[in-house]
Amino acid sequence: MLDANALAQLQSLKSDIQSTQPRLTGRIKGTGRSFGFVVGDDGLEYFLPPEEMARVFPGDQVTFVVEEQSDGKLRASLEALESSELNTFVGRYVERGKAQGVEPEAAGHGKWLFVPPKKTADAQSGQWVKASVTRHPWETGKAQAEIEAILGAEDEAGTWHRLAIEKYGLTTDFSAEELAAADALDEQLIEQLDDREDLTDLPFVTIDAASTRDMDDALFAEETDDGWLLRVAIADPSAWFSSNSPLGIAALERLTTTYLPGMPLDMLPKRLAEDLCSLVPDTTRLALVFHLHVERDGNLAKLAITPARIRSTAKLSYTDVSRWLDGEEPIPAQHWHLETLRACCQALRGWRENNALVMADRPDYRIRVDDELNVTDVVREERTTAHSLVEESMLATNRITAAWLVEDEALFMTHPGFRSEREEELKGLLRDYAPTVADCDGNTLDGYRTIMRAARDCTDFPLQKVLQKRLERGLWTGQAAAHFGLGFEQYTTVTSPIRKFSDLHLHRVIKAKLNNQPLKASPALVDVLNEKLSGSRKAANEVENHLRLQWLAGQKDQDWAATVVHINAGGLIVQLDDNGASGFVDLRSGDEKFSYDALRMQMKSETTSYSLEQKLTVRIKENTGSKLEFTLAP
């Protein structure tokens, strides 16, 4: 037995060893199971065993050391908790025997948090709730929470809306001060501003969905000797309030209008979004008008921008305009200029096909709900001729405006192309399926465009889709840079200022430049746009996906046409063609053994192969309301 002196020496030796080990910092990565990882600041992942994972939450910032296990593998040993981002969260309230707790909804969480009996808010097992952490597990390995609000059961109308709103911190209502500021605005301002060009005699029209009320843009094109003059009138909410006013601050807090089915969360009060700023027909409105000089080949030769007053002559729907231009019905005499607009937009499209990148059209899926937010239908909507008119007009306006701002510190939407760590994979794929472009430098815009055009034309393998899985995400920046995804030298967006804060801010930048008073986009604003805008998109997507599953639950058992949209080592993720619902086909459970080719994103057995974009017929195996699983139809 060791005496006290020997024990003290051993403890001192242990302390000396620990003091020589480098301390690292990193963030906890959950797996949904008992173990996890620490992602170090160096980008490397270190295994975190269950007994250590029990002390932290995914997302926690920690200090750790790396140790060697008995099997020779490395593991992280936690030293200190630096910070924890899990405070208020959403999750499912569950009861297990005589205990109760809440399971966080966020991906990667594999534990539940115990809720004391007096802190349940009378929640029922299975309900979705909003909860807050009352005890972090760092000291004891046992976390606690309390329920703050009940969001509802899965089959209860509005639950998924409430869940998304709480999860992403979306604002649902305007304050009394903000509404009062909107109500106090005087429509006479439209005629009082003396810096406006009067363009009310031009026959602008809006083209939108029939249900749209917040109309940002109106179009008019006329032919010239060398092409067309395309005028794009964009609503001008920046004329109605300053950036530091209650309405300006409210817009910054929201950043965008979030379109949840049956529950749009507006960036601006309806007094502005659907009335004073909206380009409603037969009413004079303030606008920034972008005058685009388009050459016969679709090249954008010149841009002029004027603050103006305009008067839309009609609110046209995509359906009606497409019917007229597709020859199903004659074009009404008062809308004769639609043919001119189409010719101009066809030239713009041709220029993009020859000089930039054009992606294949994809259908949209509209989720219809009743007044109680119960899903009533899911409708597939194809892209139409009218959609193309608006798309080409908006792309052209945004592209040439970015060129006009290229020397300024404004806001630019950029896309850097391929992930740098995937370069060797890229070269391997090109050697196999597009050898003529295998030596192109995908890090340059010209090289990227050449590669993606060759990939688009590849007929025996879905090369374009496989390459798109290896792309970086787009980013807002304060300086001009290329948008590889669109194939443009630079790009920005100025055409949706009623519903997007970035566009609203850029209107202020444009006006400042027109008045020789440059206004810079702050780095802080760029960071906010990059960090927070995705929450709105994720919220809308998640609500729509859940409502699709609710709708599917009410459909009869049947075979569904589907398309493979992703492949991993376990199986296929497919999307139903008719309604956009996505689910998993597990290829591990059958008798046939498949191998996964990560480079080509293929699953292969001795007799069968699956690739991206492949068409399949599937049947629903399980629909939990949160998750959909398919089997392949025989």
- What's residue 626's pLDDT? 84
Angstrom distances, CA of residue 488 to CA of 127, 361, 485: 48, 19, 8
State pLDDT tens for residues 184-230.
999 999 999 988 999 999 999 999 999 999 999 999 999 999 999 99
Q: What is the pLDDT of residue 20?
A: 56
Residues 362-367: contacts with CB within 8 Å, 24+ apart? Answer: 363/580, 365/544, 365/548, 365/579, 365/580, 367/261, 367/544, 367/547, 367/548, 367/551
DSSP string, 377-414: EEEEE---HHHHHHHHHHHHHHHHHHHHTTTSS--EEE
From the list 362, 372, 201, 367, the residue with the least C-alpha distance to 289 is 201
Is the pLDDT assigned to residue 8 strictly greater than 70? no
Determine the 3-state secondary structure of 599 from DSSP.
coil
pLDDT of residue 5: 64
Q: How many CB atoms lie within 10 A of CB 599?
A: 13
User: What percentage of the chain has pLDDT greater than the value 90?
Assistant: 87
Q: Domain 23-83's class?
A: mainly beta
Query: What pLDDT, on the 0 to 100 scale, is given for residue 546?
Result: 95
Structure tokens at 19: 């003091």
Contacts with 215 (C-beta within 8 Å, 6 or more apart), sequence order: 206, 208, 235, 278, 279, 280, 312, 315, 498
Nearest to 303, CA basis, from 225, 194, 405, 408: 405
Q: State the CB neighbour count (10 A cutoff) for residue 287.
A: 29
Tell me the per-residue pLDDT of 227-271, one tens digit each, with 9 for 90 and over: 999 999 999 999 999 999 999 999 999 999 999 999 999 999 999
Which residues are bridge partners to 90 per DSSP? 130
Would you state the structure tokens that stand for residue 466, as one six-digit string?
């496989």
Cβ burial, residue 601 (10 Å; 0-12/13-18/19+): buried
Domain ranges across the chain: 23-83, 88-153, 185-397+533-543, 556-632
Please, which pLDDT band fits residue 110 given cuts at 50, 70 and 90?
confident
Question: How far is 569 from 589, CA to CA, in rounded Å?
Answer: 13
User: What is the SS3 string spanning 240-307?
Assistant: CCCCCCHHHHHHHHHCECEEECCEEECCCCHHHHHHHCCCCCCCEEEEEEEEEEEECCCCEEEEEEEE
Confidence of residue 13 (pLDDT cuts 50, 70, 90): very low
Say if residue 16's pLDDT is above 70: no
* Cα(89)–Cα(112) distance, integer angstroms: 12
pLDDT of residue 591: 84
**Interacting residues of 312 by C-beta distance below 8 A, sequence separation 6+:** 204, 205, 206, 215, 218, 233, 279, 280, 281, 282, 283, 285
Binned at pLDDT 50, 70 and 90, residue 508 comes out as very high
| 88-153 and 556-632 in the same fold | yes
Confidence of residue 576 (pLDDT cuts 50, 70, 90): very high
**Terminus-to-terminus CA distance in the chain, angstroms?**
71
Quote the CA–CA distance of 543 and 378 in Å, as a whole number.
Answer: 13
Residue 536 has pLDDT above 60, yes or no: yes
Q: How confident is the model at residue 3 (pLDDT cuts 50, 70, 90)?
A: low
**Model confidence at 173: pLDDT above 50:** yes
* Integer-rounded Cα radius of gyration of the chain: 28
Percent of the chain with pLDDT over 70: 97
Beta bridge partners of 424: none
Domain 88-153, architecture per CATH: Beta Barrel (2.40)
Are 367 and 378 spatial neighbours (Cβ–Cβ below 8 Å)? yes
**Is the pLDDT confidence value at 22 over 60?**
yes
- With bands split at pLDDT 50, 70 and 90, how would you rate the model's confidence at 12? low
Give the mean pLDDT of 574-578.
97
CA 257/CA 213 separation, integer angstroms: 13
Q: Quote the CA–CA distance of 411 and 255 in Å, as a whole number.
A: 14
Helices (H), 21-80: 50-53
Q: Please name which of 401, 360, 411 lies closest in space to residue 230, comparing C-alpha atoms.
A: 401
Q: 9 pLDDT band (50/70/90 cuts)?
A: low
Name the pLDDT band for 17 (thresholds 50, 70, 90). Answer: very low
Q: How confident is the model at residue 397 (pLDDT cuts 50, 70, 90)?
A: very high
Residue 122 carries which DSSP code? T
Fold of 556-632: OB fold (Dihydrolipoamide Acetyltransferase, E2P) (2.40.50)
Question: Residue 42: what pLDDT?
Answer: 85
Quote the tokens at residue 141: 């390995």
* DSSP state letter for 168: T
Q: What are the tens digits of pLDDT across the range 581-619?
A: 999 999 998 889 999 999 999 999 999 999 999 999 999
Residues 299-341: tens digit of each pLDDT: 999 999 999 999 999 999 999 999 999 999 999 999 999 999 9
How far is 255 from 199, CA to CA, in rounded Å?
30
The mean per-residue pLDDT over the stretch 521-525 comes to 90
Q: Is the pLDDT of residue 14 over 80?
A: no
**Structure tokens, 336:** 């004769």
